[in-house]
């Protein structure tokens, strides 16, 4: 007579959790699985939120994609391209970008200078007021501190790529007032980037030329390759490959560390299951004597332990989700003022849940399979046990 799986499961679950002779190491292993799933989910989601905010801030300033223009341009074709982008309600800025040196009375610093066409552009970074753009240049607060100047002060821009012949070759320069400052919370932008009207750079270079269009959203399939004025189109991710690689490496190292932790928990599960199965061997022998097939007893035991592992990992995900909810909606500002993120942003994603569940569960599944691959549920073992008593 075989024992229904439900009764088998209930009997040994009560034995494990309620019996005075329960196996502590199995419960410890279940707790390890619970904590592994919980901590991996919380850490992935908070780190993902921090990284997503970094990417969002940078893309809001430097654009999602950049259309590079050829040096020799057909003005009518460029106007046609800009008209198409406007027709599709795509946010963009038409720019001329130059690498300059910015000088004040207290020092000189390198600068990526963005000359924006304020008439034909449809979008401006949030810290730039379109109406005030002709009145001066916009530099980051951090850069202004290094230069020892302020809003309303005068600065000089030097272009090493353009020379004037005056008793020898002298780098060309042009002066202007600081019309505004900004803090973007993107270090490279605050320290090395500046914005002004495009005419300022045209006067410095003494030609009218644009070299890129920054697009602040994903470009739909518009067949832009038909425009000969376009040199290439590059995404933000391609422009910042080193940063993307560093963020990806950070996530992978974190997952690897948790995989090793789950491996350690798996070893504990292996030892705990061996001890637990030896302790319940009399009960298994009793079921066999009552008519339950050995294969069925082994299969029910395997199902019991895997179910416990499944519930431990699932419980960890539920507890982790509760913690993330609290952090997301009620989390206090726990970071010092020097940090950009005062709280802990949370990024919910299906991949985080799948990885947080899969790593500890499949390690436990593997070690459980090893235990039952070399189990004691054999006729000879039961007979030997019965002869002993």
In a domain, 342, yes or no: yes
In a domain, 64, yes or no: no
3-state helix, strand, coil in the chain (%, to 5): 55, 20, 25
Domain identity same for 220 and 320: no
Q: How many domains does the chain have?
A: 2
Q: Among candidates 31, 16, 26, which has minimal Cα distance to 261? A: 31
**Would the pLDDT of 317 be above 90?**
yes
Band (pLDDT 50/70/90 cuts) for residue 1 is very low
pTM: 0.72
Top mean pLDDT of 59-73, 248-262, 338-352 is at: 59-73
Domain identity same for 76 and 209: yes
Angle at 106 between CA 161 and CA 184, to 5 degrees: 75
Band (pLDDT 50/70/90 cuts) for residue 95 is very high
Distance in angstroms (rounded) separating the CA atoms of residues 23 and 26: 6
Percentage of residues in the chain with pLDDT exceeding 70? 74
**Residue 56 near residue 347 (C-beta atoms within 8 A):** no
Domain identity same for 51 and 135: no
Give pLDDT, residue 353.
Answer: 92
Long-range Cβ contact pairs of 75-80 (< 8 A, separation 24 or more): 77/227, 77/228, 77/229, 78/210, 78/229, 80/227
3-state secondary structure of 171: strand
Among the candidates 194, 228, 262, a domain finishes at 228
**Residue 143 near residue 162 (C-beta atoms within 8 A):** no
Among the residue ranges 4-13, 20-29, 207-216, 241-250, the one predicted with the least confidence is 4-13
Give pLDDT, residue 321.
Answer: 92
Distance in angstroms (rounded) separating the CA atoms of residues 107 and 86: 41
Band (pLDDT 50/70/90 cuts) for residue 318 is very high
Domain identity same for 263 and 210: no
Domain identity same for 221 and 250: no
In a domain, 357, yes or no: yes
Domain identity same for 108 and 204: yes
Would you state the structure tokens that stand for residue 172, as one six-digit string?
């060309």
Which DSSP string do the residues of 187-207 spell out, in sequence order? HHHHHHEEEEEHHHHHHHHTS
Domain that holds residue 160: 71-228
Among the residue ranges 170-179, 220-229, 273-282, 318-327, the one predicted with the least confidence is 273-282
Domain identity same for 105 and 37: no
**Would the pLDDT of 210 be above 70?**
yes
Among the candidates 228, 261, 284, a domain finishes at 228
Band (pLDDT 50/70/90 cuts) for residue 386 is low
Percentage of residues in the chain with pLDDT exceeding 90? 7
């Amino acid at each position: 007579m075989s024992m229904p799986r439900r009764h088998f499961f209930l009997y040994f679950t009560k034995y494990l959790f309620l019996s005075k002779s329960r196996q502590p190491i199995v419960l410890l292993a279940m707790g390890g699985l619970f904590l592994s799933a919980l901590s991996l989910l919380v850490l992935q989601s908070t780190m993902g939120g921090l990284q997503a905010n970094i990417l969002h801030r940078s893309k809001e300033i430097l654009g999602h994609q950049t259309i590079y223009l050829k040096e020799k341009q057909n003005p009518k074709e460029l106007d046609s391209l800009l008209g198409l982008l406007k027709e599709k309600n795509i946010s963009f800025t038409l720019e001329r970008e130059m690498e300059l040196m910015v000088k004040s009375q207290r020092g000189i610093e390198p600068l990526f200078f963005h000359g924006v066409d304020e008439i034909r552009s449809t979008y401006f970074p949030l810290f730039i007021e379109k109406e005030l753009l002709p009145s001066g240049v916009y530099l980051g607060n951090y850069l202004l501190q290094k230069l020892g100047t302020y809003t309303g002060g005068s600065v000089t821009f030097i272009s090493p790529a353009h020379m004037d012949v005056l008793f020898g070759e002298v780098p060309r320069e042009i002066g202007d007032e600081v019309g505004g400052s900004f803090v973007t919370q993107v270090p490279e932008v605050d320290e090395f980037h500046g914005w002004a009207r495009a005419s300022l750079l045209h006067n410095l270079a003494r030609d009218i030329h644009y070299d890129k269009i920054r697009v602040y959203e994903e470009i739909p399939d518009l067949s832009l390759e038909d425009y000969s004025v376009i040199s290439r189109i590059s995404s933000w991710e391609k422009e910042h490959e080193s940063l993307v690689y560093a963020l990806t490496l950070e996530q992978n190292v974190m997952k690897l560390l948790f995989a090793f932790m789950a491996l350690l928990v798996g070893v504990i599960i292996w030892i705990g299951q061996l001890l637990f199965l030896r302790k319940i061997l009399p009960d298994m022998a009793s079921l066999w004597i009552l008519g339950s097939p050995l294969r069925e007893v082994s299969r029910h035991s395997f199902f019991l332990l895997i179910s416990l592992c499944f519930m431990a990992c699932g419980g960890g995900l539920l507890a982790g989700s509760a913690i993330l909810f609290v952090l997301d909606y009620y989390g206090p500002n726990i970071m010092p003022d020097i940090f950009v993120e005062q709280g802990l942003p949370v990024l919910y994603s299906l991949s985080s849940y799948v990885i947080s569940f899969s790593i500890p569960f499949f390690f436990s599944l593997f070690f459980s399979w090893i235990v039952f691959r070399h189990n004691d549920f054999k006729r000879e073992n039961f007979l030997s046990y019965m002869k002993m008593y």
